[in-house]
Amino acid sequence: MEKLTSAVHIIAMMSAARMGLGLIQIPRYHAENDLTEGRLVRVLEEFPLTPTPVSLLYPRNRQLSPRVRVFIDWLVKVFARQNPESAHH
Average pLDDT, integer, range 27-35? 90
**Amino acid (1-letter code) at residue 85:** E
> Are 13 and 44 in the same domain?
yes
Same domain for 1 and 41?
yes
Give the burial string for 37-56 (b: 16+ CB within 10 Å, else e).
Answer: eeebeeeeeeeeeeeeeeee
**Co-location of 44 and 55 in the same domain:** no
Threshold 0.85, pTM exceeds: no
Number of domains forming the structure of the chain: 2
Which pLDDT belongs to residue 6?
60
Looking at the fold, whether 26 and 3 belong to one and the same domain comes out as yes
Spatial neighbors of 41 by CB under 8 A, at least 6 apart, are 35
Q: What is the largest CA-CA distance in the chain?
A: 58
Q: Which domain holds residue 58?
A: 50-89
What tens digit of pLDDT does each residue of 44-81 get?
Answer: 989 888 877 778 888 877 888 899 889 989 988 988 88
For residues 37 and 74, membership in a common domain is answered with no
- The H or E element spanning position 20 is none
